[in-house]
Amino acid sequence: MHFGEPTRILHVEDYFDVGLPEQAKEPRVRFRKKLSTAALKALRAVGGFTIAADSARRRNSLLILCYHGISLADEHRWLPSLYITPQQFRERLRFLHRSGASVLPLDEALARLRLGSLPPRSVVLTFDDGFVDYFEHALPALQEYNFPCTLYLTTHYCDYRLPIINLGLDYVLWKSRKSTVSLPKFGIPERLPLITFEQRQVLVKRLLEYARERGMNTVDKDELAREVADDIGVNYEAILNRRLLQIMTPEEVIETARAGIDIQLHTHRHRVPRELALFRREIEDNRRRIIELTGKTPLHFCYPSGEYYPEFFGWLDQCGVQSATTCDMAIAQRNSQAMQIPRMLDDSGMDLLRFESVVAGLFV
Ligand SMILES: [Zn+2]
């Protein structure tokens, strides 16, 4: 998706460049190309999954699963690559539990990966961003199974009970169910299509540009989203009330940390400037806020939108960061670079059979 472009460096406090990993585009297609469902079933029936799961190759590798959101409403229909349903998430946890997977805390798993002392079928669960849906759906499910989990939290929006603007605008446009739209009040007089994500992004970028030119802050931008929603017949109040696309409040973060969830770095404003001073500020602001809320110093990082450049590795090291995960779809190996650790994105298009094959270490 088109958030992956190099981040524009803006000196605006509340700028939030939320994005979707490029790799989130078509993971299902990539899986499908590898093996059909029928072939997977046949392989499982002859014990192929078990052989792979118990192999030395799997034993020496670490599956880090990456999640973003668990639908509060219909978000999985809006962005299937980033949302799964609460039922699907519970189904995943149930499978991990009954299949004897070793679900480990990130810190321990990375150390044991290096040492070559991982237990069988090792898995780490990670969530990006820290949406309210994590608190509502993921946390109780994780507690039920007593599974550790790392949450990479972006902190700017913790202080606003508002949808993240980029996502909010896109959701509003999708929710209108219109095939084309013109928004003359907001500088878009021509009629533009909004069926696909890419088409909607053209509009979202134009609206954000409109906001930027007017020097809008986070609250102003939310008002803009509301006006756009009103203009195209979408109930913005319902989106706000259901707390869609909002980051957890400080109180919710505190409660999450108290419940034993490991809260780690994801930048304050969800962006990775390619200028050291600004990059460092993102890490430091994010770290300061996480320490305030959790009392613990975060040492692990996840690249927002999976976007990274080689110069970041040294910068992160200078910032005292010990590991960084990407959205590059792979299983981590003993020789994976500390600042370039791959993960597997789980999404609502992946059925349980395919998930089982991923946990077995097949096709990753
Ligand atoms: Zn993110």
pLDDT digits over 18-44, tens only?
Answer: 555 554 444 444 444 567 889 999 999
What are the E-state strand segments in the chain?
61-67, 69-70, 83-84, 102-103, 122-129, 150-153, 180-183, 188-193, 262-265, 300-302, 323-329, 332-333, 341-345
pLDDT at 364: 57
Just give the CATH number of 2-160+246-359.
3.20.20.370
Query: Would you list the domain boundaries of the chain?
Result: 2-160+246-359, 165-241
Compute, in angstroms, the gap from residue 221 CA to the centroid of ligand 1: 20
As a 3-state breakdown, the chain gives helix, strand, coil percent values, each rounded to 5, of 50, 15, 35
Compute, in angstroms, the gap from residue 314 CA to the centroid of ligand 1: 21
Report the predicted TM-score, pTM, of the whole model to 2 decimal places: 0.91
Task: Give the type of residue at 210.
Answer: Y
Compute, in angstroms, the gap from residue 191 CA to the centroid of ligand 1: 31
CA–CA dist 290, 283 (Å, integer): 10
Compute, in angstroms, the gap from residue 305 CA to the centroid of ligand 1: 5
CA–CA dist 360, 69 (Å, integer): 24
Compute, in angstroms, the gap from residue 110 CA to the centroid of ligand 1: 21
Q: How many CA atoms lie within 13 A of 194 on its CB side?
A: 27
Mean per-residue pLDDT for 308-330? 97
Task: Give the type of residue at 364.
Answer: V
Compute, in angstroms, the gap from residue 164 CA to the centroid of ligand 1: 11
Mean pLDDT of the chain: 91
pLDDT at 5: 32
Compute, in angstroms, the gap from residue 32 CA to the centroid of ligand 1: 26
Compute, in angstroms, the gap from residue 80 CA to the centroid of ligand 1: 16
Compute, in angstroms, the gap from residue 42 CA to the centroid of ligand 1: 37
Compute, in angstroms, the gap from residue 38 CA to the centroid of ligand 1: 34
Task: Give the type of residue at 227.
Answer: E
Compute, in angstroms, the gap from residue 192 CA to the centroid of ligand 1: 28
Neighbours of 78 (CB within 10 A): 21
pLDDT digits over 234-274, tens only?
Answer: 999 999 999 999 999 999 999 999 999 999 999 999 999 99
CA Rg, the chain, in Å? 20
Q: Tell me: pLDDT of 4 over 80.
A: no
